Structure 1
Amino acid sequence: MGRRGPLIALATAQFVMVLDQSVMNVSISTLVDDFDTTVSAIQAVITLYCLVMAMFMLTGAKIGDIIGRRRAFVTGLVVYACGSALTAAAPTLAVLAVGWSVLEGAGAALVLPALVALVADNFTGRERAAAYAVIGGVAGAGIAVGPILGGWATTELTWRVIFVGEVVLVAFVLLMSRLLTEPARDRPAPRLDLVGTVLSACGIGTIVLGALQSSTWGWIRPKDAPVEPFGLSPTLFVVALGGALLWGFAAWQRRREHGAGDPLLHLDLLKSPPLRAGLIGLLSQNLILMGVFFVMPLYLQLVLGMNALDTGVRMLPVSIMMFVAAAVGSRLSSRFSVRAIVRTGLVLTGGAILALMATVRPDLAGAAFAISMGALGTGMGLMVSQLGNLVQSSVGSSGRAEAGGLQYTGQQLGSSLGIALIGAIVLAGLTGAFMSKVEQNDRVSAQVAQQVGVAAGTGVDFVSTDRIEAAARNAGLDEATTDALVDDYGEAQILSLKAGLVATALLVLGSLAFTRDLPRTVGASGPQSPAAEDAARPA
């Protein structure tokens, strides 16, 4: 099988990891019904999956250095397969969270950093560059296939079959993994920094927890909060605690670097401006993409009433164009700088999100919606084509595992924050808009408006208008009042979704400010020669 065998194994593993993140977004409403839960609960499970990966990606990279990258790759795949099997059979939401969020997330935290390093170990020169391009293209394909595959499986069969298929694919990769090689160790294996592991995981986890709970606790004024320090919401205090833990992690790593211990992360890697810009770009890209991928299924399914398959079809333009633009973008690198391509992608993405705001309405603007989603995918694809390769080419060979850990930490942190932040904004906007409209509606009596205000005081969940109508009728409200509440809720849905898109567009604008350190010379993306790689090697 020659050099194709290792590439097939690594590319298939990358496909499975990416597929799992995009395939279930179109099945949110089905999961809500199957587990008799809420959108917020499913949002938490999806966020937890990304969060577990973000929390332990640096640790997974270091474990690969300790036990060997191939062994870490195989071990992670076994853990991931166990999580997929448990998810496929999950009888409750709690079991779903353990299988999907915890086990699969932990397995992926071992697989992904090792995967990036194994590409470099098994390929050299032009073959290595081509292999990274294939891995990036497969990641785009996974994003492209995910929504339509998830929609088809959920509508025609069951979402559970997706995870059964993942077990089969992982078994195939395990058989192919014997073809992977890694260089002999030329120095003693490092030891795992347990204190650094705890500090980094808790810091990242605390920040995302605060963002996720902001829709329940409130950002400044407390709502349904367990505690109210100084009469304020605990959200900002929790986020600040996470920041303090990460500061402590950085201080501890410096101590380990200057002492006799092995740090979890060599902080000198972050002195490279292109590497920092690439990592920020990856975080922003995933934050924006996952934010949009959380908002759009809510619109298509709970506002327009589409099933999972129709939702996947409507979201397909963004996925297809992302794959195409990623492939085209890698070729554009010979004519344009990384900075120019990434900035073009961000501008296209921002324009597409603004265009999507105009299409979010009670009836679907089919052509305009498809064009906007396609433009979004094009912008995202241009970014994808540059940032991963930039991060890996900005470090030497011995720093690739740590760079891979940083790369995927940034991506998963962006994904979890995107879902948490945009989800919180949408749900908070829904509550505020619904209560405001009810209070101003002449068709709703003051008594009913007061009752709605009390019921919505802890937040309104994002559900279909049919459920609002049923709840109003069960409460004994007359037909005119029921119709008024349904109309108000439907308008509040649209306004809250647009608020989420506005926030995402602002994130795009903010991301542009961090592109100045991207390479501005055509073909410049970091150290390419062995001498340059040695110079970039962490101490």
Structure 2
Amino acid sequence: MAVDRTRTRTDTTSRTSWLPLVALALAQFVMVLDQSAMNVSISTLVDDFDTTVTTIQAVITLYCLVMAMFMLTGGKIGDIIGRRRAFVVGLVVYACGSAMTALAPTVLVLTLGWSILEGLGAALVLPAMVALIAGNFEGASRKVAYAVIGGVAGAGIAVGPILGGWATTEYSWRIIFAGEVVLVALILVMTPKVADAARTGPAPRLDTVGTVLSAAGLGLVVLGVLQSSAWGWIKPKGDSPLTPFGFSLTIFVVGAGVLLLWAFTQWLDRRERGGRDPLVHLTLLEIAPLRAGLIGLFSQNLILMGIFFTIPLYLQLVIGLDALETGVQMLPVSITMFIASAAGSRLSARSSIRSIVRVGLATAALAATLLMATIEPELDNPSFLLSMAVLGVGMGLIASQLGNVVQSSVDASGRGEAGGLQFTGQQLGSSLGVALLGAIVLSGLTTNFLTNISEDDRINSAVSEQVGVAAGSGIDFVASDQIAAAALSAGLDEPTSEALVDSYESAQLQALKTGLLVAGLLALLSLAFTKDLPRGLPDDPGDTDEAGAGSQA
């Protein structure tokens, strides 16, 4: 009779599962949409709020960072109050943030709505969503559901530029956030069709000390990386507020973050030894496939979001495209990422997961190399579109595998925490990707510009020294027309002004290529952490307590 009940349950699931999947997939789409849609609107946001690229970089980074800081806490809250309730509460908070962002009159309000409220809402929604997928699907259906969610996440990241470009050019970037409010309302209408995920054992208690330590530690690490272009990495720049022992503040802020994260691990160990429920059980990281999956998700988002921040700078501020034209140029990523993600779920039946992810990382490294070759003063349309298509293939192959690897490595009792770890890794990768590649590009811009003007015979030593003093604390990434206007307004003659513009344009290209080179090297470095990825998954992942052990074989 047990077998018959199982068959009946599976048959029922197969008949009713797709409505919950639509709701969950739409939630995934909304969570990642503005993360990518607003990258093509950077120059418009700078103009609308009369601010700088660096400020908008910080707002984008903070959105991802808030999610990373509170994702573990969001997963634990889902365990306490129920995954579906956490999902609903998170959606409401996210919608409030979207509405505030759509109406934002200042950068401060933009940051509060987009970075803070949306980030906190997503931190509740995403871990609950992963657990709800596992609770609503079984066997082969679960594998398909994870592949669909991975594909939708990839599509949201990739479709974002074309959607954001269209909205920004034809109407306003605010339309994106207003549309999210409507989509969230639609998801909430469908949520009653989503069955709550079962919880095993008593409801845990929230570890507030662990929450503070983990959030503060992650926040300080990313803050240090984000500010490195202004403060300097080791040698301090003019904008460094403090210079302890003659060094940049960056290394001390990052070091303090690492110290707090170490204290976080010690606190968790102390709570476990005392029989109290920790924010996350570190023993989960002893599961080799889960650990490898988390590193893979971190790497994927670091590379993709770093490139997605870098490429619009080239297309808009170097080439001069508007937001819609920028979105069109990035469209190949959308198409190939969705196709590769769908194909990847089928390939896993014939090829090992490890091999598919390795091919994805190698393809991403190839794409970064191709993009470096296309970063020139004049846009080579066919070459650029091909490079973006190759990037989409690599990212899609990775996305198709790793979510299922993480969730299939644990049993039902560990899915909430595994989901928290999964999205912490993803959003930490996103925030560090924007912060790191952005800092490398901006630092490289300043260094290359100063080097170029010192070596240009058309620029006399007095002007070179004057520019060096003005740019000593860093310069912003702007259109070269602004450099020409600033030079002429400073009273420089036309030949000198032209030389400064040439030096700046050359520095822009070299800085962008450096950022892409780092992205390619990170993709290759990530290959070293794929050895623990499984060759395949259990037939019915996560349904038994032995799923975690089985996936390590």
Q: SS in structure 2 opposite 1:517? A: coil
Whether 1:233 aligns to 2:248 is yes
**8 A Cα contact 2:200 2:413, kept in partner:** no
Tell me what 2:196 maps to: 182
2:10 is matched with which residue? none
CA shift, 1:57, in A, is: 0.1
Structure 1 residues 325-334 or 134-143, which shifts more?
A: 134-143
**Aligned pair count?**
536
2:78 maps to amino acid: G
Aligned to 1:20, which of 23, 28, 34?
Answer: 34
Give the match for residue 211 of structure 2.
197
* C-alpha deviation, 1:133, in angstroms: 1.9
Match of 2:60 among 33, 46, 71: 46
**CA drift at 1:533:** 3.4
Superposition CA RMSD, Å: 1.6
The one of 353, 356, 360 equivalent to 1:338 is 353
Q: Which residue of 2 aligns with 1:381?
A: 396
Residue among 407, 410, 420 paired with 2:422: 407
Structure 1 counterpart of 2:134, one-letter code: A
User: How has the CA–CA distance of structure 1 residues 66 and 441 changed in structure 2, closer, same or farther, with 3 Å as cutoff?
Assistant: same
> Cα 1:270–1:536, aligned 2, differ >3 Å: closer, same or farther?
farther
Paired residue type of 2:28: Q
Shift of 1:522: 4.5
Counterpart amino acid of residue 382 in structure 1 = L
Query: Within the alignment, does 1:424 sit opposite 2:411 as a pair?
Result: no
Q: 1:477 to 1:170 in 2, by over 3 A?
A: same
Structure 1 residue 186, shift from structure 2 partner: 4.8
- Look up the equivalent residue of 2:528 and give its one-letter code: A
The aligned amino acid for 1:139 is: A
Retained in 2: the 8 A contact 1:390–1:525? no
**Residue 3 of structure 1, CA deviation:** 2.8
d(CA) in 2 for partners of 1:142, 1:403: 22
The CA deviation string for residues 406-460 of structure 1, in whole angstroms up to 9 with x for no partner, is 0000000000000001000000100011111111111112111111011101101
How far off is 1:185 after superposition? 4.8
- Please tell me whether residue 484 in structure 1 is matched to residue 499 in structure 2: yes
Counterpart of 1:70 (choices 71, 80, 84) is 84
Q: What pairs up with 1:437-452 in 2 under 5 angstroms?
A: 437-452=452-467
CA distance in 1, matches of 2:425, 2:179: 28
Instruction: Tell me the CA shift for residue 257 of structure 1.
Output: 1.0
2:58 counterpart of 1:58: no
Q: How does 1:122-521 map to 2 (within 5 A)?
A: 122-183=136-197, 185-223=199-237, 224-519=239-534, 521=535
Q: Deviations over 1:75-99 (max 9, x none)?
A: 0000000000000000001100000
Contact 1:192 1:264 survives alignment (8 Å): yes
Aligned-partner Cα distance in 1 for 2:377–2:198: 61
Question: How far off is 1:5 after superposition?
Answer: 2.2
Change (3 A) 1:115 1:523: closer
1:9 Cα deviation (Å)? 1.1
2:544 aligned partner, one-letter code: P
Q: Aligned equivalents of 2:315 and 2:356: distance in 1? A: 31
Query: Residue type of the partner of 2:217?
Result: G
SS of the residue corresponding to residue 16 of structure 2 reads coil
Secondary structure, counterpart of 1:24 in structure 2: helix
Deviation at 1:506, TM superposition (A): 1.4
CA distance in 2, matches of 1:526, 1:4: 18
Residues 87 and 163 in structure 1, CA contact (< 8 A), matched pair in contact too: yes
Amino acid in structure 2 at the alignment position of 1:364:
L
Percent identical among aligned pairs is 67
Using the TM superposition, give the Cα deviation of residue 187 of structure 1 relative to its aligned residue in structure 2, in angstroms: 3.0
Q: Which residue of 1 aligns with 2:12?
A: none
What 5-or-longer segments of structure 1 have no aligned partner?
none
TM-score (norm: length of structure 2): 0.95
In the aligned structure 1, how far is the partner of 2:539 from the partner of 2:341?
Answer: 16
How far off its partner does 1:188 sit?
A: 2.4
Q: How far, CA to CA, are the matches of 1:534 and 1:290 in structure 2? A: 30
2:117 counterpart of 1:103: yes
How far apart, in 1, do the equivalents of 2:386 and 2:474 lie? 34
Shift of 1:132: 1.6
Distance 1:378 1:185 in 2: 37
Q: Which amino acid in the other structure matches residue 34 of structure 1?
A: D
**Over residues 46-86 of structure 1, what are the superposed CA-to-partner deviations in whole Å (9 max), with x where a residue is unaligned?**
00000000000000000001111111000000000000000
1:523: how far off? 4.8
Output the CA distance in 1 between the equivalents of 2:194 and 2:34. 24
Q: Is the 8 A contact 2:408 2:538 kept in 1?
A: no
The whole-number CA distance in structure 2 between the counterparts of 1:186 and 1:475 is 70
Shift of 1:207: 0.4
Corresponding letter in the other structure for 1:443: R
- Offset at 1:524? 6.1
Q: Residue type matched to 1:262 in 2?
A: D
Question: Residue 363 and residue 255 in structure 1: after superposition, are their counterparts in 2 closer, same or farther (change >3 A)?
Answer: same
Cα distance in structure 2, aligned partners of 1:190 and 1:365? 56
* Cα distance, 1:527 vs structure 2: 5.1
> Does the CA-based 8 Å contact 1:39-1:461 persist in structure 2?
yes
Q: Select which of 12, 17, 21 maps to 1:7.
A: 21
Gaps of 5+ in 2: 1-14
